[in-house]
Amino acid sequence: MDRRLFVKLGLLIGAANSINNDADAAVSSSSKSEAHLANNHSLIDADVIELQALMSSGKLSAKSLTEQYLQRIKTIDRAGPHLNSIIELNPDALAIATALDAERKVSGARGPLHGIPVLIKDNIATADKMQTTAGSLALVGARAPRDAFLVKQLRAAGAVILGKTNLSEWANMRSTRSTSGWSGRGGLTKNPYALDRNCSGSSSGSAAAIAASLATLAVGTETDGSIVSPASLCSLVGIKPTLGLISRDGIVPIAHSQDTAGPMTRTVSDAALLLTVLAGIDARDSATASSRGRATDYTKFLDKNGLKGARIGVTRNAMSSNLRQQAVVDEALEVLKQQGAILIDVELPNIAKYTDSELEVLLYELKADLNRYLAEFGQGCAVNSLADVIAFNEKNRSREMPYFDQELLIKAQEKGDLNSPAYLIALENNHQYSRVEGIDQIMREHQLDALFASTGGPAWISDYVNGDHVIDGFSTPAAVAGYPHITVPAGFFAGLPVGVSFIAGQYAEGMLIKLAYAYEQASKRRKVPTYMAHSLG
């Protein structure tokens, strides 16, 4: 066992013997209550290794931990700050946790996730009492005929699926003027660091919930930015893996050429553990075949000295244009240098050449992929196709479209099939300029281990009138290429979290985890949220 575990063990055992006091009463908006929420987090903010040690010693049970999270959800998510991050709780969570405790006593733990509460985004199918709706009222009533592949992986590992998180409806592929984190079914998720600010999308609920320690781990999904952006805005670690490392089976789709699930956690070590469990070959997703022999135990890359001698390309042309947060980035670069990294200023080429063609591909694939998903997983709801979804939204405009419309869904419906020349040309363009003449080229020319940039700017004020105020971000190159991307907390600007990112070529997750972990351990920039009612800006 890691020796650092025992330094904290005494404090954690004490925390395990008492329920968090802040979960016993509704939380007021006073600064005193906000400070209490921020400071009283020792057990529920613990990482997987620490929790497993407590469970193994008999000082903590999966049932007790699950009960504490459920109480915290009642206090913080349903009341108090009212984060609104969780769209539905699993009514069987306590029974599952109790059964796992009994199993541990008889045969030991299945692995590091045994008895660990996990939240999953509400676009990942579960064949249980919960629904899978992508936040849309159109999918209410749909009952999945089977678990998504990644859900099977979690259950086999002994995880307690605690519930499902809110999201930007249809994974933010409904309108160009959307308010991220809002769904017709779930309403708006608030940022725990400033309740008037946005969490970004579309894995907004997963980000807010883990930042607020409403579970140990969460799974998000990303097409372009939907894991790394909310993670950055909520001071979390997020991994958008190589396309095909994690099966997309049973996930409400946008586009098969970019969609993937991935970990959202408070630490790099937790992200590595979760990624190890989620990865796997799935006969229902042909893209996973290419990961055979590449998926591994990612915890072996948790090396505090992982930055020593690493060649990192600092992509100045992909940094956030918010110059006032440059001090945070400069501090991160200084940490990299102090830890022995070799920093090389580079410019990532040809980003503008796939900006338009990316959307073209997403629209074509949305129509084909969503129709295919609904044919299997849409039984029992009001829609069977994208055309049905559009009609449902129009019929239920007051509930589904009170703030923004559905022009992206309409544009997708107007597209042809996946044999259309326009689609094939756009897809080839994306891969040529994001991969061959993009990330691959710059890394080969400079013999780099990874590329580095700020993940994006700080959270913006949620605005139903004008929609999101996203200025820039570093998600698109890796998203279009289908390459891995990890974001790590780097500090705060105006009281709001800012993350930094490492990206690299196909199946370079191990290298990125090594670099991110070494940076995290040297910097320790994450802070727990304070649930400010209003932002400083």
61 included as an active-site residue? no
**Angstrom distance (rounded) from CA 470 to CA 199:** 11
**Angstrom distance (rounded) from CA 223 to CA 227:** 9
Which DSSP string do the residues of 182-193 spell out, in sequence order?
EETTTEEPPBTT
**Angstrom distance (rounded) from CA 443 to CA 50:** 37
Cα separations (Å) of 236 from 93, 97, 424, 444? 25, 26, 36, 30
If you ran DSSP here, which 8-state letter would residue 302 be given?
-
Q: Exactly one of 136, 175, 202, 434 is catalytic; which is it? A: 202
Residue ranges in 342-488 assigned as alpha helix (H): 355-377, 386-395, 397-400, 407-413, 421-431, 440-446, 476-481
Q: Exactly one of 64, 136, 203, 226 is catalytic; which is it? A: 226
Helix (H) / strand (E) containing 95: helix 93-107
**Angstrom distance (rounded) from CA 184 to CA 268:** 33
Q: Exactly one of 121, 164, 240, 514 is catalytic; which is it? A: 121
- Of 361, 357, 392, 360, the residue nearest 374 (C-alpha): 392
3-state SS class at 485: strand
**Angstrom distance (rounded) from CA 257 to CA 480:** 8
Cβ proximity of 240 and 261 under 8 Å: no
202 included as an active-site residue? yes
Task: Quote the strand ranges of 156-305, DSSP E.
Answer: 160-165, 182-183, 187-188, 217-222, 237-240, 260-265
**Angstrom distance (rounded) from CA 282 to CA 147:** 13
175 included as an active-site residue? no
**Angstrom distance (rounded) from CA 278 to CA 240:** 12
Residues with active-site annotation: 121, 202, 226
